[in-house]
Amino acid sequence: MTNPLEEQGPMIPNTSRTLLVTLLGAFARRTGDWMPIKGIVSLLEELGVDESSTRTGVSRLKKRGWLEPEKRDGASGYHLTPLAKSLLASGDQVIWHARQPAQLADGWCVATFSIPEEQRAKRHLLRSRLAALGFGNVGQGVWIAPARMAADALELIDGLELTNNTNLIVGRHAGGQDLTRMARECWDLDAIEAGYRDFIARHQADFQGLVRSYGTEIPAREGFVHYLRALDDWRVLPMRDPGLPRELLRSDWPGDPATRLIEDIVTQLDRAAFAFVEQALGH
């Protein structure tokens, strides 16, 4: 089952598909795991998403097993399935607890695999899931991550029933290629860095302007719109960042100020944003 939270590639402007997932992840679990469809439509209209696009997005999530229709108090709506809640909880662990820099002395985890062509769907899934865990690609069938990812990788491999096709080795780098060069070749650090810088450029000035204008009494609608756009941009960034040892990164790595910015946005805008959601849902 595809996890809409596992999105790779450069940061793109908010879309109806991503905004819907972000809305559900941020608020549906605080509204009884259910939202009326009229409320979902009205909330996303505040972000420029038309009703047709919202309903199409809901239909797609329903087909993926994320949503099930349910009426409450005569209102038509959708509730999160156990699958959706499980995937959202897994995403939370990365989104809200961005990977801290690994310790170089702890070593590395190397995964190798050889999967026959008739299982190519599983092979593709393994690659995408390893990338989501923070593994970088060394070469064909060889992936590497900080050693702390070994347990998660083993759980992934067992879950895909690929134990007999895979080897997982944990150890220290004893010599050979310079580690900084290796990191640059295995992970697209330029793209990760650009994503963080773009996030800061897109959201810092507007957020600071809101705080200057309203202090702690930020209007509900303004808080909601900025909060959801910022969260929608942010949620893919920690999933791309493997949390490499600091020695292998630039001294001015932008992940640190970007993380502080999203933490400030959540701290200062969450209350206003949730108040707007409750108002739109008639709570």
- Cα separation, 121 vs 141, in Å, equals 14
Q: Is 22 exposed, middle or buried (CB count within 10 Å of its CB: 0-12, 13-18, 19+)?
A: buried
Give CA separation, 96 vs 173, 236, 263, in Å.
30, 11, 9
- How crowded is residue 193: how many other Cβ atoms within 10 Å of its Cβ? 18
Quote the CA–CA distance of 146 and 154 in Å, as a whole number.
14
Q: Kindly state the average pLDDT of the residues 97-112.
A: 88
Provide the CA 252 distance to its chain's centre, in angstroms. 23
Residue bearing the bigger pLDDT, 161 or 15: 161
Mean pLDDT to the nearest integer, 233-253: 91
Q: Which residue has the higher pLDDT, 12 or 38?
A: 38
pLDDT in tens, 179-238: 999 999 999 999 999 999 999 999 999 999 999 999 989 999 999 999 999 999 999 898
| Per-residue pLDDT band at 240 (split at 50, 70, 90) | confident
pLDDT band at residue 175, thresholds of 50, 70 and 90? confident
**Average pLDDT estimate for 34-46:** 97
Residue 271: CB atoms within 10 A of its CB come to 14
For position 278, what pLDDT does the model report? 96
Phi, psi torsion values for 199, nearest 5 degrees: -60, -45
> Which residues, 6 or more positions from 25, have their beta carbon under 8 angstroms from its beta carbon?
5, 88, 91, 92, 235
Residue type, 193: E
| Tokens 């999105």 sit on residue | 7
pLDDT given at position 98: 61
Helix (H) or strand (E) holding 146: strand 142-146
Distance in angstroms between the alpha carbons of the first and the last residue of the chain: 33
* Residue pair 95/238 in contact by the 8 Å Cβ criterion: yes
**65: number of CA atoms within 13 Å, CB side?**
8
Residue 37 CB burial class (10 angstroms; 0-12, 13-18, ≥19): middle
Q: Looking at residue 239, what is its pLDDT?
A: 84
Of the chain, the percentage scoring pLDDT greater than 90 comes to: 80
Q: CA geometry: angle at 242 spanning 241 and 247, to 5°? A: 105
Average pLDDT over residues 14-29: 92
Question: What average pLDDT does range 104-117 have in this prediction?
Answer: 94
Give the chain's mean pLDDT: 91
Q: What is the pLDDT of residues 50-82, one digit of tens each?
A: 999 999 999 999 999 999 999 999 999 999 999
Which two tokens mark 244?
Answer: 């490499």
The per-residue pLDDT for 4 is 43
Give how far Cα 156 sits from Cα of 127, 163, 200, 205, 239, Å: 11, 10, 33, 40, 16
Q: Could you tell me what percent of the chain has a pLDDT over 70?
A: 94
Contact yes or no for 106/146 (Cβ under 8 A): yes
